[in-house]
Amino acid sequence: MFPLQRSLTARYLLQKWERSLLVAISIALGIATLVSTRLLNQCVEAAAYDTTIPADVADLYVQNGEAGVDWKVLDDLRAASIPGIRRVEPFVQLRVALPELDQRPAVIFGIDVEGRADQGTPDDGKLQLNLTPVDNPVAFLVWPVQVGRPVAISRRLYDERRARGKGDTDPIAIRYTNVTETFHLAYIIDVPKDSPVAPFAENLLIMDVAQAATFSRRPGVGGDRVTRIGLYVEPGADIGAVHERAQAVVGSRAQVRTPEAIRKSTSAVVGAVKLVLNLCSLGALIVGLFLVYNALAVTVAERRHDIGVMRSLGATRTQIAHLFTAEAMFLGALGSLPGIPLGLWLSGLAINQFGDELKSSFLNSESFRPHLSLETGLIAVLAGMATALLAALVPALQAASDEPADAVRRAPSTTGGTLRRIYRVACVLLVAGGFATVLLRRQLPSPTGSLIGGSLVLIGMFLAMPIFVGLFSRLFLPLCRWSMGVEARLAADNLVRSPARTGLVIGALAAGVSLMFLTAGVGKSNEVPIRNWLEEVIQADAFVFRDNPAAANSSMAPMEPGVRDQFLAVPGVEHVVGLKFFRAEWRGTFILLVAIDGPDYRQGVRARVPNPNPTLDLMERLPEGPVTIVSDNFAAKWGVQEGDIVTIQGPRGPVNLTVIGIGRDYSWNQGTIFVERTIFAELFGENVVDGIHVFFRKDADFNTTYERVRQVADREQLVVQNRESVQIYLVSVIDRLFRVAYLQQFIVAVVAALGVVTSLLISVLQRRRELGLLRAVGATQPQVLKSVLAEAMFMGLIGTILGFAQGLFMEWYFLHIVMREETGFVFDLLVPWKEALGIGLICVLTATAAGLIPAFHAVRLNIPEAIAYE
């Protein structure tokens, strides 16, 4: 099978194993980024879906964001008896902790257990729950008074309790906010792998929905609120009509949506994150693609004579083209295989960086275990082969189109003209198309226009790199030739002579440098103002959370409002500021609503910061009524001004807030609005708090007061931290974010470095005769070594300079176009001089080090053979 490939391809690849290995490694790294990105996207999407619609089994959902749905809506829907609706079921989801299992996070699903008795199995058995009853008579004891509070727990939790000596009749302690209540074990839940609740199986508790709603302590008009109401439609009913009628009953109190609409909306929210991740991985794949192209192009050039011989023996053009494409696809498949496990490891590494934050922000932290499916593996292998095939197309066509006589005679090829023209046109089209997309970005969904347009421009510029290198070399290298020794002059001449070979490699180096420059620049431009802002707003002496700082702004770990009063009673404490974080749906995305004790906060900060942000004084006005202070990025992104009305969906319908001021705030990229906490509690029926800032009196002894606060926190099973540790934590979040970005760019840089090695190995081969002649006329081995290393160093230097130029442009573009459009944030462009110096040094040293292997090849040349080589 494949006799030609076995004889020609396999033998050639084995003989040139170093080059084949380098090509395969380039592909492996590109595939690793693709796999890790895909896995991360899957995790983010799964976690987002699991948080938005866990246990998705209904045909329609009545939801109201974080505000929840009033019980009266449920009553009204049932009373309306809408034709086509078979069942109306409330559902509650709660994130709780289990004190008996070291405060382990768990999830409560409240389902309509009573409805089960009337109407058959709830959810028509779609949840696929297997409930095994336990012998615990207390669980259902209702006479003479309601004693039993039955709950079902997952098999895993049950086994762990048993392992700790807990029996079936022992009460189960469940903590929500900082209050622990006891329940009674009634069932053990076994969840099959294909059940909709399978993602939660490890930490699942199920109870009756009314009991869960009461436990969540979110009073509504008609009773406690539920998370959502599921509508089950009769088979064959017109779901559109049902949808309309249900919405008419619900009115402005909530929204009726299909699961698809909810998923689409969730996708839109995580879409920007996915797009950025995808673009980063595409970048690595493209860099790998061009390096593979480079290697294959030179392979074709090297084997041109062999190709001529084969053509003279009767090989057709198609056979020649197939030979090279098959070779490339084999290398692509070979490179993909190690890329897959590497990608899995990279995704795990990225997730570990944000373990606490992810667990705190999403309902199901188990979603963040990357799972490699057969589909992902196949896609990875196909992507590797496709990348290599794409890279091989042009060289293969060039090889096939050469006239056999020219190839045999080693005469210059006459077929390159058309391809060169196509290449130039492609560069121009990409750059022009990219700019056009950027200019028309407002007509495209955000941030597609700005990100894709920018990417097209960058790809076009990257493709055009050989042209830039040729120009650059011609302009600056004569200076090098004049001022440097013969070794450097020969190296410079070689660069000028073959910009096509070196251009793409230098382009890859420049791409790596520019990405790192972009990250450093954006990081510095963000970090400086954000640090300054944090120093201004994080002014309290102590900070109290239920779990950890990561959970503080996620609303997944609330505390009872009563603890605030306990801290206020501590001697030495002057102000206690409660904060509630609420994610409000807004124009297809989510904004952050911060409910805060405005006047207390203002007084606390004013006493510590001599010239605070002028908007701080407006915090005194927050208790006036339904008013809000909005962040500057909210105002810029959504076109909101002072005096405008911002309408947010509340539990009883829309809530109108009048904008009284605009202030600097970097809490959320879609914008933040501030409301007085007590007014929020009144309008939204939510009086729990997610964080507490404690300000001490100036004359109080800090350590003594802090210790007292800590004792209160311990009593309530809360966590307390001081200002310094909170600021350090917040800055570390930013650092970790950039660390993940640097990791991807490091891969691009490694791929580029591999390209330098490949390119120089080829250079040594092409310069064999010249280097042999050098040695024949008296050059020493160190001199030959220096010449090759000089070429490597020049490649690094040119790559660095071009990379800085590109990186600066990219930083400006990202800050002033992409970020401004996507978030409304406006950051001044700060040039990361220190980091740039480090990046440049690393690039030049890496390129020079990459030249070592080819340099040693060069010094080991056999002089007579090298001179005789044709």
Partner 1 sequence: MMELADVTKIYQQGSRTVHAVRGVSLTVTAGEFVSIMGPSGSGKSTLLHLLGALDTPTSGTVYFQGANVQKMSDRQRSLLRRTRVGFVFQFFNLIPTLRADENVALPLLLGGSRRSTALTQGRAALDRVGIGHRADHFPEEMSGGEMQRVAIARALVGGPEAILCDEPTGNLDSKTSGEILDLLRGLPEPGKRSLVVVTHDRRAADYGDRIIHIQDGLVASEEVVRNGTREMISAR
Query: What residues make contact with partner 1 under the rule CB under 8 A?
Result: 3-4, 6-8, 11-12, 15, 305-306, 309-319, 403-405, 408-409, 411-412, 414, 870
Under 8 Å between Cβ of 283 and 806: no
Residue 58 exposed, middle or buried by CB count within 10 Å (0-12, 13-18, 19+)? buried
- The least CB distance from residue 407 to partner 1, in Å, is 10
Closest C-alpha to 458, from 806, 751, 755: 806
- Select 318 or 443, whichever has its Cβ closest to partner 1: 318
- Select 14 or 777, whichever has its Cβ closest to partner 1: 14
Under 8 Å between Cβ of 189 and 206: yes
- SS3 assignment, position 316: coil
Side chain identity at residue 564, one-letter code: R
In whole angstroms, give the CA distance from residue 595 to residue 602: 14
CA distances from 387 to 34, 282, 322, 431, 620 (A): 12, 11, 16, 22, 60
Under 8 Å between Cβ of 75 and 172: no
- The least CB distance from residue 23 to partner 1, in Å, is 17
- Select 413 or 783, whichever has its Cβ closest to partner 1: 413
- Select 417 or 778, whichever has its Cβ closest to partner 1: 417
- Tokens matching residue 183: 């329940």
- The least CB distance from residue 301 to partner 1, in Å, is 16
Side chain identity at residue 212, one-letter code: A
Per 3-state DSSP, the chain is made up of helix, strand and coil in percentages (nearest 5) of: 65, 15, 20
- The least CB distance from residue 311 to partner 1, in Å, is 7
- Select 3 or 639, whichever has its Cβ closest to partner 1: 3
In whole angstroms, give the CA distance from residue 225 to residue 472: 68
- Select 403 or 835, whichever has its Cβ closest to partner 1: 403
- The least CB distance from residue 299 to partner 1, in Å, is 12
In whole angstroms, give the CA distance from residue 581 to residue 248: 30
Side chain identity at residue 240, one-letter code: G
CB burial readout 576-596, b (16+ within 10 A) else e:
bbbbbbbbbbbeebbbbbbbb
Longest dimension (CA), the chain: 110
- Tokens matching residue 749: 């840089």
- The least CB distance from residue 25 to partner 1, in Å, is 22
Residue 191 exposed, middle or buried by CB count within 10 Å (0-12, 13-18, 19+)? buried
- Select 3 or 588, whichever has its Cβ closest to partner 1: 3
- Select 13 or 57, whichever has its Cβ closest to partner 1: 13
- SS3 assignment, position 346: helix
- The least CB distance from residue 449 to partner 1, in Å, is 46
- Select 309 or 859, whichever has its Cβ closest to partner 1: 309
- Is cis: bond before 137, omega within 30 of 0? no
- The least CB distance from residue 27 to partner 1, in Å, is 23
- The least CB distance from residue 8 to partner 1, in Å, is 7
Side by side, the strands of the sheet bearing 542-545 are 645-650, 653-663, 627-631, 672-676, 589-596, 573-586, 691-696, 542-545, 719-722
- Select 4 or 528, whichever has its Cβ closest to partner 1: 4
In whole angstroms, give the CA distance from residue 446 to residue 303: 48
- The least CB distance from residue 10 to partner 1, in Å, is 9
Residue where the block lists tokens 């792998």: 193
- Select 306 or 493, whichever has its Cβ closest to partner 1: 306
- The least CB distance from residue 309 to partner 1, in Å, is 5
Write the CB contacts of 772 (distance below 8 Å, at least 6 apart in sequence): 861, 863, 865, 866, 867, 869
- The least CB distance from residue 331 to partner 1, in Å, is 16
- Tokens matching residue 137: 């008579």
- Select 7 or 121, whichever has its Cβ closest to partner 1: 7
- The least CB distance from residue 861 to partner 1, in Å, is 16
- The least CB distance from residue 796 to partner 1, in Å, is 33
In whole angstroms, give the CA distance from residue 347 to residue 288: 19
- Select 6 or 715, whichever has its Cβ closest to partner 1: 6
- The least CB distance from residue 390 to partner 1, in Å, is 25
- Select 11 or 715, whichever has its Cβ closest to partner 1: 11
Write the CB contacts of 159 (distance below 8 Å, at least 6 apart in sequence): none
In whole angstroms, give the CA distance from residue 721 to residue 729: 10
- Select 5 or 214, whichever has its Cβ closest to partner 1: 5
- The least CB distance from residue 414 to partner 1, in Å, is 7
- Tokens matching residue 299: 């392979």
- Residue 179's DSSP bridge partners are 176
Q: N- to C-terminal Cα distance for the chain? A: 34
Under 8 Å between Cβ of 95 and 107: yes
Under 8 Å between Cβ of 413 and 500: no
- Select 107 or 323, whichever has its Cβ closest to partner 1: 323
